[in-house]
Amino acid sequence: MSEEQFLDVAVEAAKNAGEIIRKGFYQTKNVEHKGQVDLVTETDKACEDFIFNHLQKHFPDHKFIGEETSAALGATADLTDEPTWIVDPLDGTTNFVHGFPFVCVSIGLTIGKIPTVGVVYNPIMNELFTAIHGKGAFLNDSPIKASSQDELVKALLVTEAGTKRDKNTLDDTTNRINKLLYKIRSIRMCGSLALNMCGVACGRLDLCYELGFGGPWDVAAGAVILREAGGHVFDPSGGEFDLMSRRMAGSNGLLKDKFVKELGDTN
């Protein structure tokens, strides 16, 4: 099958899962706690069940990695060279619980460990971001490009506080933000890494980074979309992006080097 066919099936899965999210968004939620501030709902589970069943029906030989996945769905925790679907059924669960409309389905496909197809769908705002490696990025079928901002002082950055609440992590997070605020225009925290990356891809934002996020499902789709929009995806140290590292930074096509310098030590 072609990459376009892979994309079509992923879009179909995302839109159907998005309908599950849309219905649940306006209803009372049954919330479980994976940690102090790390939440999961029945909607997360229903979306992932639907997406994996849909993808397995079309691609029975492909591998799968997902945030809520049980072993019963045949998912793996290892990334290999084989075609692998990497899924976050509901990125922004805390937003979903609070009725804040920054939520999405994120579906990425890696081939040879390279992010190749990406779909990020926000069903509340009806925004569908898509990309195929080497073929551009799109929002609701219209081409998108990262911003042309080349001055750090005029850049808008998005990051997240994460789910860890130990003092060392919080001190590192706030110290880094304090330092960056002297160098850039402003900072946003919107609650969905996948949508943060798409925000840089379509030029609403100029920079993003996050350390210690949940896993590859948060970034697999967004990495394709941001790169295809002319942006950079990289390790916050400035090195090569590792999909499995739980570390990422992104920029438009012009600010990477300046951004890395100001991020400083992130290890």
- Residue 74's CATH number: 3.30.540.10
Residue 150 annotated in ligand binding:
no
Residue 88 annotated in ligand binding:
yes
- Both 115 and 164 in one domain: the answer is no
- Both 22 and 135 in one domain: the answer is yes
- Both 139 and 19 in one domain: the answer is yes
Say how many domains are in the chain.
2
Residue where a domain terminates, one of 143, 175, 198: 143
Helix/strand/coil for 85: strand
Residue where a domain terminates, one of 94, 122, 143: 143
In the chain, DSSP assigns E strands to 31-33, 39-41, 63-66, 84-91, 104-111, 114-122, 127-132, 137-139, 142-143, 156-158, 186-188, 207-211, 232-234, 247-251
pLDDT band at 30 (very low <50, low <70, confident <90, very high): confident
- Rounded distance, CA 64 to CA 71, Å? 11
Residue where a domain terminates, one of 124, 143, 162: 143
Q: Do the beta carbons of residue 3 and residue 114 sit within 8 Å?
A: no
Q: What is the pLDDT of residues 78-93, one digit of tens each?
A: 899 999 999 999 999 9
Residue 218 annotated in ligand binding:
yes
Q: What is the pLDDT of residues 178-193, one digit of tens each?
A: 999 999 999 999 999 9
Q: Do the beta carbons of residue 40 and residue 96 sit within 8 Å?
A: no
Q: Do the beta carbons of residue 145 and residue 250 sit within 8 Å?
A: no
- Both 51 and 22 in one domain: the answer is yes
| Cβ neighbour number for residue 147 with a 10 Å cutoff | 24
CATH number at residue 160: 3.40.190.80
Residue 139 annotated in ligand binding:
no
The domain of 126 spans 3-143
The residue behind tokens 């160098």 is 183
The residue behind tokens 């679907």 is 85
- Both 115 and 56 in one domain: the answer is yes
Which pTM does this prediction carry? 0.94
- Both 22 and 124 in one domain: the answer is yes
Average pLDDT, stretch 220-230? 99
- Both 191 and 128 in one domain: the answer is no
